[in-house]
Structure 1
Amino acid sequence: MDTFALVVTIGVALGFTYTNGFHDSANAIATSVSTRALTPRAALAMAAVMNLAGAFLGSGIAKTVSEGIIETPHGDKGMWILFAGLVGAIVWNLITWYFGLPSSSSHALFGGLVGAAIAGGIGVMWGGVVEKIVIPMFVSPVVGLVVGYLVMVAIMWMFRRSNPHKAKRGFRIAQTVSAAGMALGHGLQDAQKTMGIVVMALVIADVEDAGDPIPVWVKLSCAIMLSLGTYAGGWRIMRTLGRKIIELDPPQGFAAETTGAGIMFTTAFIFHAPISTTHVITSAIMGVGATKGTRAVRWGVAKNIILGWFITMPAAALVAGLSFWIVNLAFL
């Protein structure tokens, strides 16, 4: 096994985690920043710490990524397939970040893996793709929309006789907790996805055996890179989530964050399903906003975001396939 290929692939995997951090950091903190519950820097610092903590909470999603999407490839070719898949995901992350579109880093990664596997002649576990990726891709936004709406309705009913100004101050404080929960869930979900890729690379290189516990250094390195990327910030996407979908107030921000965090923890611990934090929080924001009436949600922005959801996987797959073709010419 070419050690160079292993080192490069792990390095690119950590690079993907970094882009995931600054791309998806907005998911955890956009609502808290837009309602002025937290300053941008304080929110980013808190999210970075909670992302780091969340990465150590489990390993079920990492196993799903490393064993349930594509067949484990072998040899130098297998390593470069992983490399090409990661390149596809990174390129799409950078494109969507540039345009301020909150697409899913998770689905960019999955699309990249599938595209590279097809280009490299490796089997794709389509049953796992459908069960663990496609179905959650459609179900999680619907759940986020409905639960976000119901949570906001419950809050409005419970605090219907409260002084509005006092209630908003209280929810602004509560948002510190809900944003922390959202960031913890982001670390739990997204750091594990990269761990799964690194573990697959180690298995290909015969450094680890399939089924072995995830090495501590893998968990730590993925968690640190996700946290560093988070602290780098994702201001373009933060503006989209925090301002352009609806004008959020503290109770709405709390409802959206609580909904998003609850769904992420449920899917991670019960179903081991690697869902998109972007899909969940975006749909939760729309559900919360719909309690003010359908006109309160800027559906034109929402339509562009949803279009990005459907484009992400095939676009990342195409970039990954092209990347593997280039690598195949250069190294294989």
Structure 2
Amino acid sequence: MVSTDKNQSSEVMFILLGFSDYPDLQVPLFLLFFTIYTVSVVGNVGMIVIIKISPKLHTPMYFFLKHLSVLDFCYSTTVTPKLIENLVVEDRSISIKGCITQFFFAAACVMTEMVMLAVMAYDRLVAICYPLLYSVSMSPKLCSLLVTVAYSWGIISSLIYTYSILALSFCETKIINNFVCEYLVFLAASCSDRHFSETILFILTNLSSICTLTVIFTSYLFIFVTILKMHSASGRYKAFSTCGSHLTAVIIFYGTLFLLYCIPNSKSSGIGVKIGSVFYTVVIPMLNPLIYSLRNKDVKETFRKLLNLKNISQ
């Protein structure tokens, strides 16, 4: 548990520096992040509403996409408001409990999204490789089960991460050169032995990454083999277009994680870590609905119909 010797833990605070070392950029950054967050909220909520109200989009692919938008909305809302707040206030402190709470919800969203992307890859595999069995194989019951597994793994993983954080002791107020309560923030701020927490981080992170990436790579291997066997150019194009948006989202998601955590030089560069964290926590939740809406004819057609109905009613 968190150390309570001499009531130190109850008094310990974290100070998230964020971008305070760039005072001239505080207002531009506030406007930038506020705009990104607004676009993210409108995009993800809009995607959820469009999928929910359009019978044409009541298919497994859009069912999973709806939940991906839910995750992006929750993740962005967990992190970005605190970032925006710290750009306009002088007191950038956050309690340990507040930091752990932010981490718990953010970690749950990230771990769930990893599984959700793998589930969406499997969905594309069945749709392209076994089109005649798609409606039977991807039944509503199976889709609900897969989403339940994704959320369950995200929550369980986040609880394990949080438990390993509570095993650490924090002895004094720490200045954190970041804007978000990441796992590494707690490790760096701890004044106790970190071996248990580091082991949990290594095992759980690698387990989730290896399992989900294996599903994604295997799915796309079969997909590409199936596409290459197609004799029709239009059929190949249609198959590529159905998985293009998902593949783009996967590359951005895992590519950012790789650059942020797997390249040694990125860890030693404060500004590099901040930029990577901004892209991962703020930009990606905005990009996903844009990627799926701009590359998807069904979503664009539904959106145009809603606009036409709105104009007619006016």
Q: What TM-score comes out, normalization by structure 1 length? A: 0.28
Which gives a bigger RCO, structure 1 or 2 (Cα 8 Å, sep 6+)? 1
